[in-house]
Amino acid sequence: MAAEDENARRAWVRCEDRTFYFTLSLYVDAGDVPADIASALALKDALPPLGDFEGSQALRDAMDPLFNDIANRERLGRVEDYLLDTNGPPEGVKLNLITPRVITWSTEGTTFKVDLGADQARQARVRRFWYVHMNRAISYHVSLAMTYEHTPADFYAISMLQKAAAPKEFKRPADGAGNVYSGRTGILPLDGVLLEDEARARRPFWDFVARQFDADARGLFAHIRKAAPEAQADAAFAKLVRQDPFLETPGLCMPRARFKFFFQDEAFFDALLPPPIPGEDGALVRRRRIDCVPTAVYEAYPAAIQALIDAAEENGSADLDTPQEVTIPLADIAAINPEHLKYLFLAGFNQNIIDFLNQDASEILDSTDPIYPANEDQEAESFLYATPIRAR
């Protein structure tokens, strides 16, 4: 009984403040799913229970009410799309997310560099599951959860993980490998964002995803075909997940995927929806985000970046074909007002921009307020839809 209680406890993970959840979803077109697999998946009720069927059922019980709130899923009295768990512990697998010591990116012809002093390692929890769609397409989902602090190193680590999924602000070198999970693309987030397992083996993020996809596909297909996993075809990721050109980085193709980040962070929530404060008469006064991001104060940050660029140009090469390289001192970033750094990071993250220090007040408001006030009436009505989920 004690063992069962322990397993039940481990299956649930406490939601802590300052945690982000990243889910990468890989889509396999219905026409690419092997015919016998598609036919078996279409008969959900006849599908033999997986070894961890209880895990699948727990996922369905948790997710179905949310899906039913936003979609009419019933067809002729049946719900034909459903979740399937993968083999593995219900609480997920603990790994270390490793991001580079030196972060570089390029924008508007300038390469920027920040030296964080050491490789960054943070513990993350990873889960995987399948989703069977009504049209018999399937999707594979890798979900990662990690706690963080409001520090420059943590903000850059989160940005680098975002860049691993969508490497904007990077250029693919002519000799870079086209395979995103090779570790030899020459694109920093694709090669330098690593996941380290309990055996201390480190793999590029996409190499980890591809290997997990292959292992879970072999297990699923073997279960349906009632065959040994080793009898199934290898390299399922390469065969089933199509690749599309990634327009932000010419010459690069990325796996067909979508991704979503969810932040559990009271400070971020209060920044986006500033809580009221007592006025002169003691009554609570509503604050607007435009009041929290004063133009005069935030003009200093892009001005400081421009000063670094000007200094580098004076001391650097006059060769116009050589990109200018600018180092942003970590001490300068650490000296930024924490409230200001928080807004700078949020605004940059919302645009998938790692160059988040180089923003003024108007750019921050553009990316954090979906209704930018054009007049007094709109300003009074401006709002952001968000859900205040508080950690307990």
**CA 356/CA 363 separation, integer angstroms:** 10
**CA 340/CA 267 separation, integer angstroms:** 12
Q: Rounded to whole angstroms, what are the CA distances from 375 to 295, 372, 382?
A: 17, 9, 10
For 166, the token pair is: 């969508």
Q: What is the reported pLDDT for 63?
A: 66
Query: Residue 74 forms beta bridges with which residues?
Result: 79
- Contact between 198 and 11 under an 8 Å Cβ cutoff? The reply is no
Q: What is the reported pLDDT for 390?
A: 41
Q: Rounded to whole angstroms, what are the CA distances from 70 to 64, 66, 73, 130, 389?
A: 10, 7, 9, 20, 19
Q: Which residue pairs from 363-367 have beta carbons closer than 8 angstroms and sit at least 24 positions apart in sequence?
A: 364/293, 364/298, 365/289, 365/290, 365/293
**CA 339/CA 350 separation, integer angstroms:** 17
**234 C-beta neighbours (distance < 10 Å), count:** 11
Q: What does the H/E/C string look like for the chain?
A: CHHHHHHHHHHCCCCCCCEEEEEEEEEECHHHCCHHHHHHHHCHHHCCCCCCHHHHHHHHHHHHHHHHHHCCCEECCEECCEEEECCCCCCCEEEEEEECCEEEEEECCEEEEEECCCCEEEEEEEEEEEEECCCCCEEEEEEEEEECCCCHHHHHHHHHHHHHHCCCCCCCCCCCCCCCCCCCCCCHHHHHCEEECCCCCEEEHHHHHHHHHHHHHHHHHHHHHCCCHHHCCCCHHHHHCCEEECCCCCCCEEECEEEEEEEECHHHHHHHCCCCEECCCCCEECCCHHHHCCHHHHCHHHHHHHHHHHHHHHHCCCCCCCCEEEECCHHHHHCCCHHHHHHHHHHHHHCCCCCCCCCCHHHHHHHHCCCCCCCHHHHHHCCCCCCCCCCC
Burial 241-274 (b: 16+ CB within 10 A, else e): beeeebeebeebebbbbebeeebbbeebbebbee
- Contact between 26 and 259 under an 8 Å Cβ cutoff? The reply is no
For the purposes of burial, counting CB atoms within 10 Å of the CB of 182, is it exposed (0-12), middle (13-18) or buried (19 or more)? middle
109-147 pLDDT, tens digit per residue, is 899 999 999 888 999 999 998 888 888 889 999 999 999
Burial 217-228 (b: 16+ CB within 10 A, else e): bbbbbebbeeee
Predicted TM-score (pTM) of the model is: 0.84
What angle in degrees, to the nearest 10, is found between the helix axes of 152-165 and 338-350?
0
Q: Are strands 82-85 and 120-132 parallel, antiparallel or unpaired?
A: antiparallel
Query: Residue 124 forms beta bridges with which residues?
Result: 95
Q: What is the reported pLDDT for 372?
A: 46
**CA 291/CA 274 separation, integer angstroms:** 10
**Residues in the chain, pLDDT under 70:** 1-13, 44-57, 59-60, 63-80, 227-234, 316-323, 370-392
**CA 207/CA 191 separation, integer angstroms:** 10
- Look up residue 184 and give its amino acid: R
Q: What is the reported pLDDT for 190?
A: 94
Q: What is the reported pLDDT for 327?
A: 94
Q: Are strands 120-132 and 138-147 parallel, antiparallel or unpaired?
A: antiparallel
